[in-house]
Structure 1
Amino acid sequence: MINLEVRGDSGDVVARARAGTGVEWTDAFAALDTVRFPMLWALIPYGDAVFNQRQVPLLPAELDRLPAACAGDRVGQARELCQVVGQGQHLYLRFVGD
């Protein structure tokens, strides 16, 4: 499970996906095409990926294109956290691996 959270410059957690609604890692994520999914392709199950305020606006389009094996309720949580980052300043969307 890759958990989702928004953090500020100081590292404080501003928002977090509901418990159990992070990104469920499947082999389908590893198989994402780097051209169609340049942002989400960066996700790995055991590491963190951090997206800044200039990168986050690219994520919703990629979320729309996700194959069914990667999609689900978790996509809505990711969208909500993208909006939190877009509405604030000095915020980062973090995908936190196990």
Structure 2
Amino acid sequence: MQVRGDSRDVVARAEAGVQWTSALADLDPTLFPILTALTPYGDAVFNQRQVPMLLAELDRLPAACGGDWVGQARELCRIVEQGPHRYLWFVGD
């Protein structure tokens, strides 16, 4: 996970990556429309307007989907919210 600016410069990055599990893959897209955009192989990018929805989904994420990545994603969301033209990138393999 990374926060990038408009020119794709990395502003901040997480140490942990998303632990891709069947529990994460099986999230209900009607309840988790932002998180179900994640795939293990592709990139997903969220802007300032999407970050509050992502934070709300992280707050109700089942324990089976948790890990260090959740707290680090929250920290990166706050960095996105602090400045213009910042985006949260989930970088796939």
TM-score, L = length of structure 2: 0.96
Q: Which residue of 1 aligns with 2:3?
A: 6
Structure 1 residues 31-57: Cα deviation after superposition (integer angstroms, max 9, x where no partner): 001111000010000000000111111
- Provide the alpha-carbon RMSD of the alignment: 0.7
Q: 2:45 aligns with which of 23, 27, 50?
A: 50
Counterpart check, 1:30 vs 2:34: no
Structure 2 portions without partners, runs of 5+? none
TM-score, L = length of structure 1: 0.91
Structure 1 portions without partners, runs of 5+? none
The total of aligned residue pairs comes to: 93
Give the letter aligned to residue 11 of structure 1.
R
Structure 1 residues 7-61: Cα deviation after superposition (integer angstroms, max 9, x where no partner): 000010000002xx11111111110011110000100000000001111111111
Q: Percent identity?
A: 73
Q: 1:16 aligns with which of 13, 18, 31?
A: 13
- Cα distance in 1, alignment partners of residues 10 and 80 from structure 2: 12
